[in-house]
Structure 1
Amino acid sequence: MAGNDNSPSKDYYKILEVDYGATDDNIRLNYRKLALKWHPDKHKGDSAVTSKFQEINEAYNVLIDPEKRFEYDLTGIYEIDKYTLGEYLARFKGMILTCNGLGISHTSTW
């Protein structure tokens, strides 16, 4: 991971261009495609490309590890205004289903 920028404010799913429910195979496939596209050796040391490549690696390292991915999904900083309704529902589907499974209904008193 790059420097001190270890904050979960980046949307790793968007960085890797995968759906929020992506399988490990989808994550690997898109990682390989993007890593080849953004590899610094192909762009003659362009610092913006190197930064993008590092961001892709960072996203992959989190999403491919089940424990890191679970932690990221629970603790990520969410910029709700940047999501469409469909993206929002896909992103938080697991939490929404878990709450319903725990018996928390939409008619809650809060």
Structure 2
Amino acid sequence: MEAGDGGESHKDYYKILEIDYDATDEDIRLSYRRLALKWHPDKHKGDRDVTARFQEINEAYKVLSDPDKRIDYDFSGSYEINRYTLREYLSRFKGMILTCNGLGINSCPKW
């Protein structure tokens, strides 16, 4: 399901590509290539689950490899705390947790 389509789940493209939430472009590309080779339908003739997995990998790569789509993806969807372990949650949202700029604030007022 796509983000914002009213579905009950938001695909976690980072988990699909088996990368960290702060992965570099190179990390994304390398993981995509590894997974695409592993799950390519030609290697698993007639297995629909493999084809579906391969399509998910391609979908995730198309979004995360494009900087604009990645930013839109990162700020869209429903993020429920119970979907993540503490480590995943902190990794996923550390930019927003640790910086005012991650919250769209240009400067932090002095407390």
Same fold per superposition (TM over 0.5): yes
Q: After TM superposition, where is structure 1 displaced by more than 4 Å over at least 4 residues in a row?
A: none
Query: What's the secondary structure of 1:17's corresponding residue?
Result: coil
Q: State the match for 1:88 in structure 2.
A: 89
- 21-30 or 89-98, larger mean C-alpha shift: 89-98
Per-residue CA distance 1:26-47 (angstroms, 9 max, x = gap): 0000000000000000000211
CA spacing shift, 1:45–1:89, aligned 2, 3 Å: same
Q: Which runs of 5+ in 1 are unaligned?
A: none
Cα offsets for 1:58-103 (capped at 9, x unmatched): 0000000000000000013223212111110110112222238643
TM-score normalised over the length of structure 1: 0.83
Instruction: Tell me the equivalent position of 1:6.
Output: 2
CA distance in 2 between counterparts of 1:17 and 1:101 reads: 32
Aligned to 2:24: 23
SS in 2 for 1:32: helix
Q: Which residue of 2 aligns with 1:103?
A: 108
| Distance change in 2, residues 1:44/1:90 (3 Å) | same
Could you tell me the TM-score, scaled by structure 2's length? 0.82
Which residue pairs with 2:73 in the alignment?
Answer: 72
Q: Give the whole-Å Cα distance in 2 for the aligned partners of 1:35 and 1:104.
A: 47
Letter in 1 for 2:13: Y
AA aligned opposite 2:88: E
Residues matched between the structures, number: 102
Contact 2:40 2:54 in 1 (8 A): yes
Gaps of 5+ in 2: 5-9
2:90 is aligned with what amino acid? L
When residues 74 and 25 of structure 1 are mapped into structure 2, their CA distance, relative to the original with a 3 A threshold, is same
Across the aligned residues of Structure 1 and Structure 2, the Cα RMSD in angstroms comes to 2.1
What is the percentage of aligned positions where both structures have the same residue?
A: 64
